[in-house]
Amino acid sequence: MAFPVVEFITILGAFGLGAISPGPDFAMVLRQSVVHGRAAAIFTSAGIATAILVHGTYTLLGLGLIISQSLLLFSVLKYAGAAYLIWLGVGALRAPPPKLPADIAQSSSEQPHRSGAFAVGFFTNLLNPKVALFFLALFTTLVSADTLLVFKTIYIGAMAGLLFIWFSIVSFVFTTRKIREGFYRTGVWFNRVTGVALILLALRLAVTQK
């Protein structure tokens, strides 16, 4: 069987449109970019992309269908994700005003944040049940049942790569000197706004219905 190019482009296009939509992932990469810098934001982007591989894998294994059909599993995932976002939001509200690094784009003070940045991105995406349902919808409506498993695996890898590229671009844009200096001038207000935004996203996630 030849590689289904049209199907590949279609599912990648649909996924891309969903990926660029504002949501918890975008909010987290934006905050990491401004508060912790480019390296932390890129590590966060890598965590998000890795979570996509997990979503894709369990979708192929049929677990995505189980999650969509089980109210208990869906609710557990939903409330865990909401609680995680609230925890991050409260942390942002309590954070002190960010200090402007000497070298705003490549400060060595950002190094300690890199190890945790990956986990922040990974769990922000993994605990979002809307991503699980989105994956299930893509694979049930756009992918033929006759498509080989190896091709489906390529689709998932391409999705993860596309998402990483997109959020890496976001990371670079929001860590340019002028933009980041502007955010730093807002000081504590940036932390408050992003904290409230994360909590509102958590509440929105908590009331999500299948």
Q: What is the pLDDT of residue 139?
A: 83
Residue 55, pLDDT above cutoff 50: yes
pLDDT in tens, 41-50: 999 999 999 9
Q: pLDDT tens digits, residue range 160-185?
A: 999 999 999 999 988 887 776 766 66
Mean pLDDT along residues 8-18 = 89
Q: In this predicted model, what pLDDT tens digit does every residue of 83-132 receive, in sequence order?
A: 877 887 888 787 766 565 555 444 444 444 677 899 999 999 998 888 88
CA–CA distance, 64 with 89 (Å, rounded to integer): 28
- pLDDT on residue 185: 67
**Residue 64 confidence (pLDDT) above 70:** no
Q: What's residue 183's pLDDT?
A: 67
Query: What global pTM score does this model have?
Result: 0.77
Of 182 and 149, more confident:
149
Region 66-75: what's the mean pLDDT? 72
DSSP string, the chain: ----HHHHHHHHHHHHHHHTS-SHHHHHHHHIIIII-HHHHHHHHHHHHHHHHHHHHHHHTTHHHHHHH-HHHHHHHHHHHHHHHHHHHHHHHHSPPPPPPSSSSS-GGGGGGHHHHHHHHHHHHHT-HHHHHHHHHHHHHTS-TTS-HHHHHHHHHHHHHHHHHHHHHHHHHTTSHHHHHHHHHTTHHHHHHHHHHHHHHHHHHHT---
Tell me what pLDDT residue 174 has. 85
Each domain of the chain, given as residue ranges in start order, spans 25-97+115-206
